[in-house]
Structure 1
Amino acid sequence: MKNYAYIRVSSLDQNEARQLRVMEELKIPAGNIYIDKQSGKDFHRQNYQKLIKKLKAGDLLYILSIDRLGRNYKEIQNQWRYLTEEKGIDICVVDMPLLDTRQYKDLLGTFISDLVLQVLSFVAESERDNIRKRQAQGIAAAKAKGVRFGRPEVSVPRNFPALVNKWRSNKITCEEILQVCKISKATFYRKVREMEAI
């Protein structure tokens, strides 16, 4: 029997230090700690998939909280059953002692664990939906205030229409316009299309 840990944060700029510290306190060997910096919407995560291949019957998997496993209600339920029933491993959710499959092996214990798992899976997915809604509301509010997202708009000189006319008349090459305007070829053609749409 080996002990493993799974750690997940939602994006590259988030810090996994808190989860890592807990796993180190549990004396999980560094080589048995798998970390993903990816959304919990599904289980198509590179290191999670590597972990699944390593797990053998009788192994123990630690996760700090159920939302670190995932944020999709049905997927969490399916994955939990796959790990505990098909793979034959035990799971310990550190911050929720009721979700420790080493304990409560009787019918009542299994029922309580299943109930807690369903509630926490629901909460995890609900929080994911709320995060998405808050993010969309924040973006809409910022746009309403005039905040622009993405790269800054590339400007072209005032004589750009005249340069385009010269280009169309074969009096100047596209490359010459790119040098004069200090723009890329893609920007040049986009600006030409914008001119034609006016």
Structure 2
Amino acid sequence: MLFGYARVSSADQNPAHQVDALARAGVEAENIHLDHAGGAKASRPQLDGVLARLRGGDTLVITRLDRLGRSVLHLITLGAQLRERGIELKVLDQGIDTSTAEGRAMFGMLSVLAEFQRELIVANTRDGLAAARARGRKGGRPPKLTDDQIALAQRLYDAGENTVAQIAAMLNVPRTTIYGHLDKNKSTATPTVHPLGEKPLNSVAVVRVPRTCPTCGYEPSTRAEAAHQRGDLAVAWLHPNADDPGSVVIRSHCHHCEPESPAFDVACQVCGDGPILAGDFAQAAQCGGDLPAPVAHWLLESGWTVEPSLLCPDHAREVAR
């Protein structure tokens, strides 16, 4: 079956020429998905929708490659996912059809260019940082909190009367910023011993957080930036699974690839720890007030209590005692 995807950057732009081209290529009107989104991080719900509908043997039809991918790397990633699922890609204006050997070869050349682009970005970044250090300048993002605010956040957390989400709201910063500065080893709360092999969700103190972002591959160049990044990567983001609408995909994001709004905190009522919902999950939670069914199922499978209060596995066990 043929499915079409079209995109314009703003509501003012007319998508008619893309839609007409998809129709001429044989795509039925009900199978054409249209997004109004611009920018590398803009939400594209119709793209997520068509990817969820596609099955092995289907073909995704677009007019141009730049209508599909947010970047070259994103485009190559999508192409690889489609191939793994047995789905073909047809690009009308550029004559690419991955059902043919020539089309697969042309798409493969793009992967080489994408890797070359990534290496150039990394090399240019390192050269720029080296030049800045030679002039006495230090890299990394400026801290969002002052020393006094960090100390206040630690005192509030140690007192055990405020959740991480509440502390973040008081200081008007994202919850990930608070995670990056808290020293949970200093907490007066009694630590919980986890069975071998279990890893508490979003626990900065127990789980060794990687330095390099596993999602986009960004590696900090300074110790200060690495500290910020570890705080970001300590938070689990739950995304809808395009291949299985009833399940979730868990990702970690650094500052560079962190999803744009909407985002929704799933915070334990006691400690404030928990994952953050992204994309359609966040939209559904904000609009309906209830957790999406796949998220609720995942939380229960992970040891959370959902009703009557939202409790992480640690505090759910304490209540059960």
- The TM-score with structure 2 as length reference comes to 0.33
Q: Percent identity?
A: 31
Q: Distance in 1 between matches of 2:86 and 2:4?
A: 16
Which of 97, 100, 103 in structure 2 is aligned with 1:100? 97
> Where do residues 129-144 of structure 1 align in structure 2 (5 Å cutoff)?
none
Q: Secondary structure at the match of 1:52?
A: helix
- Corresponding residue for 1:114? 108
Amino acid at match of 1:69: L
Q: Distance in 1 between matches of 2:83 and 2:109?
A: 16
- Corresponding residue for 1:156? none
8 A contact 2:76–2:110 mirrored in 1:
no
- Corresponding residue for 2:268? none
Relative distance call for 1:120 and 1:78 in structure 2 (3 A) is closer
Cα-to-partner distance string for 1:128-185 (whole Å, 9 max, x where unaligned)? xxxxxxxxxxxxxxxxxxxxxxxxxxxxxxxxxxxxxxxxxxxxxxxxxxxxxxxxxx
8 A contact 1:77–1:121 mirrored in 2:
no
Q: Secondary structure at the match of 1:102?
A: coil
Q: CA deviation at 1:110?
A: 3.6
Q: Secondary structure at the match of 2:101?
A: coil
Relative distance call for 1:120 and 1:13 in structure 2 (3 A) is farther
- The count of corresponding residues between Structure 1 and Structure 2 is 117
- Corresponding residue for 1:9? 8
- Corresponding residue for 1:67? 66
Q: Secondary structure at the match of 1:91?
A: strand
Q: CA deviation at 1:40?
A: 5.0
Q: Secondary structure at the match of 1:79?
A: helix
8 A contact 1:64–1:95 mirrored in 2:
yes
Q: Distance in 2 between matches of 1:122 and 1:7?
A: 28
8 A contact 2:3–2:31 mirrored in 1:
yes
- Corresponding residue for 2:26? 27
Amino acid at match of 2:89: I
Q: Secondary structure at the match of 1:36?
A: strand
Q: CA deviation at 1:42?
A: 4.3
Aligned Cα RMSD in Å?
A: 2.6
Relative distance call for 1:96 and 1:68 in structure 2 (3 A) is same
Structure with more relative contact order (C-alpha pairs < 8 Å, separation 6 or more): 1
Relative distance call for 1:114 and 1:36 in structure 2 (3 A) is same
Matched, 1:78 2:77: yes
- Corresponding residue for 2:89? 91
Amino acid at match of 1:48: L
Relative distance call for 1:103 and 1:43 in structure 2 (3 A) is farther
Higher helix content, 1 or 2: 1
Q: Distance in 1 between matches of 2:116 and 2:39?
A: 13
- Corresponding residue for 1:126? none
Q: CA deviation at 1:3?
A: 0.5
**Displacement over 2 Å in runs of 4+:** 109-113, 116-123
Whose radius of gyration is greater, 1 or 2?
Answer: 1
- The TM-score with structure 1 as length reference comes to 0.53
8 A contact 2:3–2:59 mirrored in 1:
yes
Amino acid at match of 1:102: S
Q: Secondary structure at the match of 1:49?
A: helix
Q: Distance in 1 between matches of 2:2 and 2:39?
A: 22
Amino acid at match of 1:100: D
Relative distance call for 1:17 and 1:62 in structure 2 (3 A) is same
